[in-house]
Amino acid sequence: MPIQKNIPIQKKPLLIGAHMSIKHGFGEAIQDGASIQCKAIQFFTKSNRQWYAKKIMQKDITLLNEALIKSHIDRKNVIVHASYLINLASSNNVTAKKSYDGLLEELERCAILNLPYLVLHPGAATESTTKEGIAQITFFLEEIMQKSSENVMVLLENMAGQGTVIGKNFQELALIINGLSMSSQKKVGICIDTCHLFAAGIPFDTQENYESTWQSFDKLIGRSKIKVIHLNDSKSAYGSHVDRHEHITKGKIPIKSFKMILNDPLFTNIPKILETPHASLSDHLMNIQQVEYLYNN
């Protein structure tokens, strides 16, 4: 029998990063991320709890571009998250209109910054049925996709499914995407949040469940649509529909689940963003090191 030598396989570097504050500008958000070993970064381009957006100036763009060159972070791994106020499923005409305009404006801001992905919570059908909510999201998204830049994709995020929130399962996300025209579908992808998957009761604990979950995703949407992963542990129980993020390995998601995601070859080139609790950058660094450890051991 040939002697088996234990040659360590060189793994690809992990595309891990975290959500950063833009309090001191886009450039500093990149610098902060680079200082804690981020290979990917997410930020809001404006306050996430206000409709108002400060105009992006040429100097903001220059500072972002300079910071990207210095940090060696690839621009396609810099993700923008849309405001939490946007609700394309709203039955309130004023909110629906603000959401429509708000999403268009956020897409334009991504185009100005030359960033390719905008993560969006699909919406909540507060005073209508889920079916009506999905129909309204699809209708608005179709119009918005026809008006917005060719170079920016909207990534619909899977949700924990609290209350009337849409996107708690792959079927709801598929209904939105499949309701769009072919040209609009090309500009819509998916962001998978591990905490939301778990809280929504989508199983990925054993190898068998992991595979069947992604098989069902492939049947409905197709994994090539996944452009970003939000890597979060969950404070709340499996299937609770309660969205509470926790530090990686400190929550209720089995460690094995994270290991399977991190080592899945289909996710190797997908940026993985931490949205775990943080008082300072060192909290993010702790999670990055934990994730690197899980990936390598």
Where does this chain bind Zn ion (CB under 5 A)?
157, 243
Residue 116 C-beta: closest distance to Zn ion, Å: 17
157 vs 233, beta carbon nearer Zn ion: 157
Between the CA of residue 294 and those of 9, 98, 270, what are the distances in Å? 16, 42, 17
Question: Residue 228 — φ and ψ, nearest 5°?
Answer: -145, 145
157 vs 246, beta carbon nearer Zn ion: 157
Q: Does residue 247 have an active-site annotation?
A: no
**Residue tagged active-site, from 32, 105, 106, 193:** 193
Structure tokens at 29: 């958000």
**Residue tagged active-site, from 81, 109, 247, 278:** 81
130 vs 162, beta carbon nearer Zn ion: 162
**Residue tagged active-site, from 74, 84, 101, 127:** 84
Q: Does residue 245 have an active-site annotation?
A: yes
Q: Does residue 230 have an active-site annotation?
A: yes
| Dihedral angle, C-alpha 156, 162, 164, 167, nearest 10 ° | 20
Q: Does residue 84 have an active-site annotation?
A: yes
Between the CA of residue 48 and those of 149, 226, 242, 275, what are the distances in Å? 22, 23, 20, 14
Which residue is at the shortest CB distance from Zn ion? 243
263 vs 283, beta carbon nearer Zn ion: 283
Residue 219 C-beta: closest distance to Zn ion, Å: 25
Q: Does residue 72 have an active-site annotation?
A: no
Residue 191 C-beta: closest distance to Zn ion, Å: 7
Residues 106, 149 contacting (CB under 8 angstroms) = no
Residue 296 C-beta: closest distance to Zn ion, Å: 27
Sign of CA dihedral 29, 191, 222, 292: positive
Secondary structure of 34-67 in HEC code, one letter for each residue: HHCCCCEEEECCCCCCCCCCCCCCHHHHHHHHHH
Q: Does residue 19 have an active-site annotation?
A: no
Q: Does residue 196 have an active-site annotation?
A: yes
Structure tokens at 195: 């905490």
**Residue tagged active-site, from 32, 109, 233, 245:** 245
Q: Does residue 244 have an active-site annotation?
A: no
Residue 139 C-beta: closest distance to Zn ion, Å: 22
Give 221's DSSP letter.
T
**Residue tagged active-site, from 19, 109, 121, 284:** 121
Residues 157, 167 contacting (CB under 8 angstroms) = yes
Q: Does residue 74 have an active-site annotation?
A: no
71 vs 196, beta carbon nearer Zn ion: 196
Distance separating alpha carbons of residues 45 and 14, to the nearest angstrom: 25
Catalytic residues: 49, 81, 84, 121, 157, 193, 196, 230, 243, 245, 275
